[in-house]
A = this chain, B = another copy of it.
Amino acid sequence: MSSENTSIQMFGIKTPIIREGDDIVKILDKALEEAGLVPIDGDIFVLAESAVGTAERRIVRLASVTPGEKAKVLGEQYGIDPREMELVLQECDEIFGGVPGAALTITKGVLAPNAGIDASNAPEGNVVLLPEDPRKSSEIIRSRLEKRYSCKLGVIIGDSRTQPLRLGCSGIALGVSGFVPVEDARGTDDIYGRPLRITYKAVADNLVSAAELLMGEAGESVPCVLIRGAPVNMINESPDMPTIPMEGCMYFGNIIKGRPKDKNCEKNV
């Protein structure tokens, strides 16, 4: 193999079902040992939000939720269980409308259907909320893994999203620790030596999308993927995911200008 060629390896880490209050680092430790994998400098762990949320006891029994009037109206409108809709309203920062089965929200700063609340991969009658603070979760997990394996690692809490007009789910990073999640390529040149026009690389999101190839969405019990050799910039921080304003977004920019004021779609009415 020529040293000019870069390569990346990805390993799906199979674990037992993760339950409320489980110690996710201990579970990973055991799973890695069984797989004969020893983390090395620069390895990135991509963890599914549902696994992290479950371990963090972010499970809610739907029977324990009493929906308010607003949740009843919106639940009816979007075909969502009013108790789940009540949780969506509690969890989200903003709600935009949606389509049958999915209210489109901004939750923890990120676009998400139904505030990222997941009924799949939750015990019967329950839903899993997103980790309370994905950035902090990634930081804590990284810190413990780095101590355990005495090397510099990256951790991502990842989730699934549909993309505009595309069928199927791809990956998105909710929280990251240990590397630069979006790389600014301004100042770099194209193959002809001229500065680039498209200037940011969604490194963290791409790592999650790559991991989803092995994670799947279903009962595969692969809540973690270890990515080795990815050319990322490792840092000893847990940076916020950078955001762009709605006006600067190619999709929302012009489109939102004319959106009707649907009072039901505002969170705090």
Question: A258 CB to closest chain B CB, in angstroms?
Answer: 4
B192 adjacent to A6 (CB under 8 Å) = no
The interface size of chain A toward B, counting residues with CB under 8 Å, comes to: 102
Which of chain A's residues 1-33 have a Cβ closer than 8 Å to chain B? 1-2, 4-14, 17
Residues of A whose CB lies within 8 Å of any CB of B are 1-2, 4-14, 17, 34-37, 96-99, 101-102, 104, 106, 110-111, 113, 119-124, 160-172, 182-183, 185, 188-194, 196-203, 205-207, 209-210, 212-214, 216-219, 221-222, 230-231, 242-244, 246-260, 262, 265
Q: Which residues of B contact A219 (CB under 8 A)?
A: 188-193
Q: Which residues of B contact A262 (CB under 8 A)?
A: 254
A202 adjacent to B244 (CB under 8 Å) = no
Knowing A164-B111, A165-B243, A201-B169 are in contact, say whether A35-B257 is a contact too (CB < 8 A): no
Interface residue from B4, B121, B196, B249 paired with A165 (Cβ < 8 Å): B249
Bound: A255/B121 CA distance, A: 30
Q: Which residues of B contact A124 (CB under 8 A)?
A: 192, 194
**A103: nearest residue on chain B (CB-CB)?**
B250
Residue of A11, A163, A185, A230 with highest tally of chain B CB at under 10 A = A163
Q: Which residues of B contact A119 (CB under 8 A)?
A: 197
Question: A78 CB to closest chain B CB, in angstroms?
Answer: 10
Q: Which residues of B contact A172 (CB under 8 A)?
A: 163, 166
Bound: A120/B198 CA distance, A: 8
Q: Which residues of B contact A256 (CB under 8 A)?
A: 255
B6 adjacent to A214 (CB under 8 Å) = yes
Knowing A170-B209, A251-B104 are in contact, say whether A1-B37 is a contact too (CB < 8 A): yes
**What 18 new A-B contacts, CB under 8 Å, besides A1-B37, A8-B9, A111-B165?**
A6-B222, A96-B255, A99-B248, A101-B197, A163-B164, A164-B251, A165-B249, A168-B182, A169-B198, A188-B217, A190-B219, A206-B209, A207-B213, A209-B210, A210-B213, A255-B255, A257-B260, A258-B260
